[in-house]
Structure 1
Amino acid sequence: MVDTAGFTELMYALYDLQGFKLSPRIRDLGDHCLYPLASVTDYGVLKPIFRGPTIRRDLIERCWDERTTASLTDDPSAVLTRLPGALAL
């Protein structure tokens, strides 16, 4: 579990790709915009905050091997900085 400072969209994606669930305690949750996963259709009472576009998991998976390989030779923070740009292709 993380507090507000540990919550980012990237952390949600990384946890999900590794098969984990991120359970942050987020201050002012209603002020945030979250991005739905195509595989999840019912968010219950949280539905109003899932206002972002649907996450394209296929784009993440397409680039994942290259990014994982890069992490073996590059600084992990540099890899995480580059990841969002590659997903925009």
Structure 2
Amino acid sequence: MNYRQPPLNRAVNPMKMNWLWRLTCEVGYVGVDDVLSALNEAGIRVSRERALGWFKSEGEDGYFPLTIAELEQNLRALQSVRSGSLHATLSGIAGK
């Protein structure tokens, strides 16, 4: 069976990417504390309330819409922290 690109099943609003953020966090085992820590490490201060709101759906109490720019920022901060941790771990192993 040859690969076929799946159809788009939803409209994408770049100002409301919470659904994609939640899916990404579920797949990557990312929690709100991971996000806050990574953003803090990147010098970006975000309230816990806002970070929790990114995990909620529109209409839920505490919902904060997450833009595509914030989604990218969060993923890059997480990537930086995780790759730095991996690099430190590998350096530590190599030094033994």
In the superposition, the TM-score normalised over structure 2's length comes to: 0.28
Q: Using CA pairs below 8 Å that are at least 6 residues apart, which structure has the higher relative contact order?
A: 2
- Provide the TM-score with structure 1 as the length reference: 0.29
Radius of gyration: which is bigger?
A: 2
